[in-house]
Structure 1
């Protein structure tokens, strides 16, 4: 394995960790903290400040993750095409990456619309109804990105295991236990 391949793989894993961790932090920490504001306008501002600060990092992580994923597939094209379990995992990982991208984009757009609706809800009954519908959608949508990116981490672990040699750290002790 070359230094370039190692750097690309490290970039791929670190950017997925940022994508996963940032979205999980938003669902677990930022979004609930924003609900502590005194009114809808303040809640929208708190959430908006947090996501606006994180947005460029998240966007950079997503972009680098996709680019490094393409580089990994190009680097492993022979194995990807010739080894059916790898082919299946890469196809699944590609679909899951697409789902994570769609979930991230939908959460971003929904969050922006929710912020606008929250600010207008006090004066406009239609905006209040729109806000309620967007809140319901965000309740499940905020978990879609961490769920899909966690799946990507699992598939990365699976693909890494396919490449390692026959004897891992736990393989020897486990084989001794099986003999008994």
Structure 2
């Protein structure tokens, strides 16, 4: 393995960790914390500020994750082509990644619409109903990316295990030397 391969793999894993961790933090921490605001406008502003600050980091992580994934695939093209378990795992990773990107974009879109509806909800009954509807959808969507990106981490672990020799560093030797 070259130093370049190590850098690319490290980038791929750390960007996935940022994507996973940011999504999970939003679902577990930021979104529930925003509910502590005094009124709908303040709650929307808190959530919006948190996601506005995190958005560029998350976007860069996703972009670098995709680019490093392409580089890893190019580096491992023979292994993917000739080793069926690897090919299946790569196809699964590609599908999960595509789903995470698409559903992340949908979550962003729904979150933005929810913030707008929530701001108008104080004085507009229609906006209040729309905010309730979007809130339910957002509650479900906010868990999709941590699940999908967590699945990517599991598949990366699986692919890493495939590259080990017959005995890993911490495995007991199967026979005694000499």
> Normalization by structure 2: what TM-score?
0.96
Which structure shows the higher helix fraction? 1
Q: How many angstroms apart in 2 are the aligned matches of 1:128 and 1:75? A: 52
Residue equivalent to 2:122: 122
- Alpha-carbon deviation of 1:171? 2.8
Residue equivalent to 1:50: 50
Residue equivalent to 2:10: 10
Q: How many angstroms apart in 1 are the aligned matches of 2:172 and 2:104? A: 42
Residue equivalent to 1:92: 92
Q: How many angstroms apart in 2 are the aligned matches of 1:96 and 1:136? A: 23
Give the secondary structure class of the aligned counterpart of 1:168. Answer: coil
- Alpha-carbon deviation of 1:170? 4.0
Q: Which runs of 4+ in 1 moved over 2 A?
A: none
Residue equivalent to 2:153: 153
Q: How many angstroms apart in 1 are the aligned matches of 2:18 and 2:67? A: 15
Unpaired segments ≥5 residues, structure 2 = none
- Alpha-carbon deviation of 1:125? 1.2
- Alpha-carbon deviation of 1:104? 1.0
Residue equivalent to 1:75: 75
Q: How many angstroms apart in 2 are the aligned matches of 1:57 and 1:102? A: 18
- Alpha-carbon deviation of 1:57? 0.1
- Alpha-carbon deviation of 1:75? 0.4
Once the two structures are superposed, residues 41-96 of structure 1 have per-residue CA deviations (whole angstroms, 9 ceiling, x without a partner) of: 00000000000000000000000000000000000000001000000000000000
> Normalization by structure 1: what TM-score?
0.95
- Residues 125-140 of structure 1 aligned to structure 2 (within 5 Å): 125-140=125-140
Residue equivalent to 2:110: 110
